[in-house]
Amino acid sequence: MSHPAARPAATGGGGRVAGIAGRSVILALGVFFALLPFVWMVRTAFGPSQSAFQLTSNPIPQSVSFDAFQRAWADGHLGRALLTGIGVSLGILVLQLVTAIPAAYVFAWLPFRGRSVVFAVVLATLLVPSQVTAIPNYVTISALGLSNTRVGLVLPFMTSAAAIFLLRQYMSTIPVSVLEAARMDGLGVLRTLWTIVVPLSMPAIATVSVFSFLLSFNEYLWPLLEARSPDIATPPLALATMFASPKYGLPDFAELAAGALVISLPTLVVFFIAQRRLTSGLTGTGVGG
């Protein structure tokens, strides 16, 4: 009586385990190198200035002190800079939403001759670095008499091609039946936009809002050109001023780290509050993959 030949042991499971282990190691290394500068900043901010140059595996400083925060708050005028940065970022955010939402709706659902060409031109502006348009924007703002003002910090960023693209991608996923039902109910274009499309597009609007706030708050080049008065300096500019004007020959790295930690708080708060909507918004636009 013959017996069936024994099957070779499956090796697929071992390969999957090795793949998962490899990805886990790569992910762990990525997280480590991403968090290392932040841990260094926190440790330096709560310790003496010379601790910035000490290599140690202990992330907790030997002596915790808040003196660097007091110096950074006073020397960098961080309170005023934070108010300016938040105000300017919110102004840019509102203007970008006011301009991007109608534009995205038009590109998504209102056909007109040359729509694809116009949309391609809008997307092409994403290829132009902000450094290229900085000088023309500066000349324009100066000609309008808005140089060295908060309004001058806001106006060049009142439109965003990236915001239009993300919102258009999301609005394109709205079922046609929903818009047809609104049209049958007698809703016009504007009422359909504000009562139907905007509520359905809130995840994408939240995503655009987060990106707009973060990018505007961390903008450095334009405030450097425009904000010549310290009264309207934004947080990155205030921190750069602290670095460029040391008191005793060398920068106070503990003070700089404390200042960097303070001005990072608004962006961290915004990100963690909107993290869930950010993920769903990116998934809906097709950017998340």
- DSSP letters for 228-259: -SGGG--HHHHHHHHHHS-SBSB--HHHHHHH
The mean pLDDT of the chain is 85
Q: Distance (Å, rounded) from C-alpha 16 to C-alpha 28?
A: 18
pLDDT for the residue numbered 6:
53
Mean pLDDT across the stretch 89-113? 95
Higher pLDDT, 203 or 51: 203
pTM recorded for the entire structure: 0.81
Which of 207, 218, 104, 90 lies closest to 154, judged by CA?
Answer: 90
- Whole-number pLDDT of residue 289: 45
Percent of the chain with pLDDT over 90: 48
Rounded to a whole number, what is the largest CA-CA distance in the chain?
101
- Copy the structure tokens of residue 246: 């040391």
104 close to 164: Cβ distance less than 8 angstroms: yes
For the chain, give the percent of residues with pLDDT over 70. 83
Q: Is the pLDDT of residue 20 over 70?
A: yes
pLDDT digits (tens, 9 = 90+) for 28-82: 988 888 888 888 888 888 877 666 666 565 666 677 778 888 888 988 889 999 9
Query: Who contacts 192 (Cβ-Cβ below 8 Å, separation ≥6)?
Result: 179, 182, 183
Q: How far apart are CA 161 and CA 239, in angstroms?
A: 29
Give the number of other Cβ atoms within 10 Å of residue 89's Cβ: 26
Interval 126-157: pLDDT, tens: 999 988 999 999 999 999 999 999 999 999 99
Alpha-helical runs (H) found in the chain: 12-45, 67-75, 78-109, 115-124, 130-143, 150-154, 161-171, 176-184, 189-192, 198-200, 202-217, 221-226, 235-244, 253-273, 275-285
- Between 117 and 51, whose confidence is greater? 117
pLDDT at 108: 93
> Is residue 285 scored above 90 in pLDDT?
no
* pLDDT on residue 68: 85
Q: Encoding tokens for residue 125? A: 């502006």
Residue of 255, 260, 254, 261 whose CA lies nearest to 52: 254
Concatenated DSSP letters for 221-236? HHHHHH--SGGG--HH
- CA–CA separation, 198 and 49 (whole Å): 50
- Cα separation, 154 vs 258, in Å, equals 27
Distance CA 79, CA 70 (A): 11
Domain limits, the chain: 69-283
Any idea which fold 69-283 has? MetI-like fold (1.10.3720)
